[in-house]
Structure 1
Amino acid sequence: MSGREMDAVVERASAQLDLLDGALSALQAVRAEAASEDGRVRVEIDGNGSPTGLWLSDSLQDLDAAVLARTIAHTAHLAAAAATEERNRITSELFDTFDAR
């Protein structure tokens, strides 16, 4: 292998490493938020599906505890689905970029 060919291999590997680093940073930054239909519950989920924020309206005092629990769970599910969609978009973009090279 000539020096020029070796340089091309190193350059390609470096570019792919940059793509991987960028995708990793983007995956670590994924956050998604959802609100309940009535807007009294908001949940934020990170890219791993872990809750990172929960906001409850002061007007929840009239709500039954079981209904509140279902509302929180449903809202968290919506946020997790959005976070998953964003993770899928990032990884698909990465794979498409590698396939194109």
Structure 2
Amino acid sequence: MSGREMDAVVERASAQLDLLDGALSALQAVRAEAASEDGRVRVEVDGNGSPTGLWLSDSLQDLDAAVLARTIAHTAHLAAAAATEERNRITSELFDTFDAR
């Protein structure tokens, strides 16, 4: 292998490493948020779907505790699904970039 060919291999590997670093940073930055249909519950999750924030409206006194629990769980599920969708978009974009090279 000539020096020029070796330089090309190193350059390609370096470019791919930069792509991987960028994708990793993007994955670590993923956040998603969802609100209940009535807007009284809002949940934020990280890229793994773990809750990072919960906001409850002051107007929840009329809700049964079981209904509130289901609403929170459903809203958290919606936020986690949005985070998963964003993670899938990032990884698909990365794989498409590698396939194109």
The TM-score range, normalised by the shorter chain, is over 0.9
Once the two structures are superposed, residues 41-87 of structure 1 have per-residue CA deviations (whole angstroms, 9 ceiling, x without a partner) of 00001111100000000000111000000000000000000000000
| 2:55 counterpart SS class | strand
| 2:48 counterpart SS class | coil
Taking the aligned partners of 2:84 and 2:45, their CA distance within structure 1 comes to 10
| 2:54 counterpart SS class | strand
Taking the aligned partners of 1:53 and 1:8, their CA distance within structure 2 comes to 47
Taking the aligned partners of 1:74 and 1:48, their CA distance within structure 2 comes to 16
- TM-score, normalised via structure 2 length: 0.99
- TM-score, normalised via structure 1 length: 0.99
**Does residue 32 of structure 2 align to residue 37 of structure 1?**
no
Where does structure 1 lack aligned partners over 5 or more consecutive residues? none
| 1:45 counterpart SS class | strand
Identity %: 99
- After superposing on structure 2, the runs of 4+ consecutive aligned residues of structure 1 that deviate more than 4 Å are none
Taking the aligned partners of 2:66 and 2:20, their CA distance within structure 1 comes to 44
Once the two structures are superposed, residues 24-49 of structure 1 have per-residue CA deviations (whole angstroms, 9 ceiling, x without a partner) of 00000000000000000000011111
Taking the aligned partners of 1:45 and 1:95, their CA distance within structure 2 comes to 25
Where does structure 2 lack aligned partners over 5 or more consecutive residues? none
Taking the aligned partners of 1:34 and 1:48, their CA distance within structure 2 comes to 15
- Displacement of 1:98 in angstroms is 0.3
| 1:48 counterpart SS class | coil
